[in-house]
Amino acid sequence: MNLGFVGLGAMGLPMTAHLLEAGHRVTVSSRSRGPIEKAVGLGAVEAGSPSAVVEASDVAIVCVPSSPEVDEVVGSMVSVLGPGKIVVDCSTIDPDVERRQHERVTATGADFLDAPLSGGTAGAINGTLTLMVGGSREVLERARPALDPFAQTIVHVGGPGMGQVVKLCNNIIYAAQMLATAEACAMAVKSGVDMEKLYEVLLHSTGDCVAVRTRLPVKGVVSDSPASNGWSPGFMTDLMAKDLDLALSYGAKTGVPLVAAALSRQVLTAAVTAGYAREDFSALAKVIFSMANVEY
């Protein structure tokens, strides 16, 4: 299948690698030279622009950081879109902005899906991402060969923009989990609790959650956690902060109070201010530990 990929970041490059491993011809475009060279080294074909990616592809996947960037990329594609083409946006952006992209693309006769991702860099590398897909179910089935190589779970969640809504709901919960995990760990460390024993208890108790299992913010307890690996990001602090900004904005539009999201966002703000923007978002725990006079 002739595929395209725009945006070879921490997620996009390993996703592209899986597409190439699956035997697809992949044409790529990205703002940074390094990832393009890596993709070409794996067998991808370089294109000079997103429009050139679309021209070479049956399905073009977009994975960029923000709403304005998606708007810009899709805008550059419109002139070469038409019947038979599919654009899949795997970015996490504002649901209303995404719905406008659906309208722009389908007006050309092409098709569009929003398919934001969950699973972080590890999921992209391992090909185990979860995709929450908004748009036509029939279009999803046509696009599935372009998504299966890097996704373990693909769920059609509704019409245009609904993938983005579901992604924001997921990240509201995940951020709140992380904040609660950080607070609990700070109290445990300050009280002299054996953290490996706490971890064992949590795994078999009602406190069990993804944040505990993968991001317990105490070095040495979970060997592959960011805390045990210099806070190396699976999902950066500034990206989680961006997603919560999107959630808070959409919550205001829909009249839903997002108290936990707002509190989590404030701690993320402190983490960014403290210099942890490019570290894993579990580094928000360092803010809580500092406030509690706990060494980390």
Which domains are seen in the chain, by residue range? 2-158 (3.40.50.720), 165-291 (1.10.1040.10)
pLDDT tens string 40-55? 999 999 999 999 999 9
State residue 54's pLDDT score.
Answer: 98
Distances (CA, A) of 154 to 36, 88, 115, 130, 240: 27, 13, 9, 6, 22
What is the share, in percent, of the chain residues with pLDDT greater than 90?
99
Q: What is the average per-residue pLDDT within 240-259?
A: 98
pLDDT over 90 (residue 296): no
**CA distance linking residue 93 with residue 165, whole number of Å:** 9
Q: Which residue's structure tokens are 């038409």?
A: 82
| Residue 272 near residue 237 (C-beta atoms within 8 A) | yes
28 phi, psi to nearest 5 deg: -125, 155
State residue 178's pLDDT score.
Answer: 98
Q: What is the CA radius of gyration of the chain?
A: 20
pLDDT over 90 (residue 105): yes
Q: Which band of pLDDT confidence, cut at 50, 70 and 90, is reported for residue 75?
A: very high
Give counts: helices (H), strands (E), the chain: 13, 9
For residue 231, give the 3-state DSSP assignment. Answer: coil
Q: What is the average per-residue pLDDT within 181-188?
A: 98
Catalytic residues: 167
What are the structure tokens assigned to 277, written together? 């923007």
What is the chain's mean pLDDT, rounded? 97
Q: Which residue's structure tokens are 């996704």?
A: 151
| Nearest residue to 213 (alpha-carbon basis) of 173, 170, 177, 240 | 177
Q: What is the average per-residue pLDDT within 148-152?
A: 98
